[in-house]
Amino acid sequence: MGSRFRGNDEGLKIMTEISALKAGLIADIAAAGTLDALEALRVGALGKSGVVTGLLKTLGGMSPDERMEKGPPIQDLRESVTAALADKKAALEQAALDAKLASEKVDMTLPADLGTQGSVHAVSQVMDELAEIFADLGFSVATGPEIEDDWHNFTALNIPETHPARAMHDTFYFPDEEGQKRMLLRTHTSPVQIRTMMNGTPPPIRIIAPGRVYRSDSDATHTPMFHQIEGLVIDKGITLGHLKWTLETFLKAFFEREDIVLRLRPSYFPFTEPSVEVDVGYTLTNGQRVIGGDGDAADGGWLEVLGSGMVNRRVIEACGLDPDEWQGFAFGTGVDRLAMLKYGMNDLRAFFDGDLRWLKHYGFSALDVPTLSGGVGA
Ligand code: DAH
């Protein structure tokens, strides 16, 4: 009795049917192309009225012997189908994720859109270059107010009230106020010399002072506001030789040329004695003046670039220092003019028009390394 179904035809037939069902279901699962199709297969096999569920239900109505015989293959069918469904589900989910990742991939090699970019104005660029060159020579940057008083701008620089040099400066004065100092827009950066010598820091002094200055003047080479840079050295035993070497080193670094030839001409500034004006040689190349070379050569000429001299002892005295102990030199020049000479612009007024086309053409990228390759002596 115990082997009533063993070897029995009907039993064999059922076993064959189960294994055929299993093979069919597993093949269908393997072929399912989508998660939805797979879910439909799961419901058809293991759902409430699924085929496998139906077979499992028949176990309850079987005799123990029959159940012993048919139970294992039916359980095996359920487990195999469950495992195949889980494997296929994982594979389909992974494929869906892979497809999503492939379609949403960010291409890191695509150049980013930087949008509209501003540029560094030629004046700022040149001021940076100057600060960099003079930093290499041991100069620090000093500043002073643009609204100055008469004493710092003129008197302390040995330009007294009646001095004709005052008339040369086309000064913008503020309205006089009773009992107040006479105020003006500084006409040069030289008052920063006075403020530096008087700020309580004892010499030696080595500073440059870049900044805005104002004069009532306007044409192709003059604007009411422009930029100057002042230099001042106060120490012991300073001579005109130190001045010449400093200016030569600075101009070579600034114009990035070794063949800079200087010409020092005697001149007059109230705050220096002796005073010199410094010309730099240029060479005519395709009708353009290119800085460098001997100005006396057949294809050359001279351009005035600087005012300078040994600091007048009256100025040193006015600042409360002993001129027998301390000497020095000073120089001053136009930053805008230096920019025009180096970068080939010809109308100073365009510097301050704010025309975007000009700024795009002559401006510098903030991300670029300065043109200066490493400062002095590189
Ligand atoms: N302050 C003078 C000017 O604006 C330029 C100048 C000349 C400055 C000689 C100096 C100097 O320091 O020594 O015209």
pLDDT digits (tens, 9 = 90+) for 23-62: 999 999 999 999 999 999 999 999 999 999 999 999 889 8
For residue 312, the SS3 value is coil
Residue 185 CA to ligand 1 centre (angstroms): 16
CATH class of residue range 122-353? alpha beta
Q: What number is the average pLDDT over the span 273-277?
A: 98
Q: Model's pTM, two decimal places?
A: 0.69
Question: pLDDT above 90 covers what percent of the chain?
Answer: 65
Mean pLDDT, the chain, as a whole number? 90
Residue 176 CA to ligand 1 centre (angstroms): 26
pLDDT at residue 4, as a whole number: 47
Residue 332 CA to ligand 1 centre (angstroms): 4
- Pairwise CA distance, residues 97 & 316, whole Å: 80
Q: What number is the average pLDDT over the span 174-184?
A: 90
Q: Which amino acid is at 304?
A: E
- CA dist list (Å): 206 to 73, 193, 196, 243, 246: 99, 10, 10, 12, 11
Q: Of 156, 148, 144, give the one whose Cα is nearest residue 172.
A: 148
* Ligand 1 atom 7: residue of nearest CA: 307
- Pairwise CA distance, residues 278 & 243, whole Å: 11
pLDDT at residue 377, as a whole number: 52
Query: Which residues have a Cβ under 8 Å from the Cβ of 15 and sit 6 or more positions away?
Result: 70, 73
**Top mean-pLDDT range of 103-117, 220-234, 307-321:** 307-321
* Ligand 1 atom 6: residue of nearest CA: 332
Measured from the CB, is residue 330 less than 6 Å from ligand 1? yes
- CA dist list (Å): 19 to 5, 22, 55: 17, 5, 13
CB 242 within 8 A of CB 326: no
- Any idea where the domains of the chain sit in the sequence? 9-102, 122-353
Q: Is the pLDDT of residue 8 over 90?
A: no
Cis peptide before 274 (omega within 30 of 0): yes
Report the residue among 308, 313, 327 best suited for mutation to probe ligand 1: largest number of ligand atoms under 8 A from its CB. 308
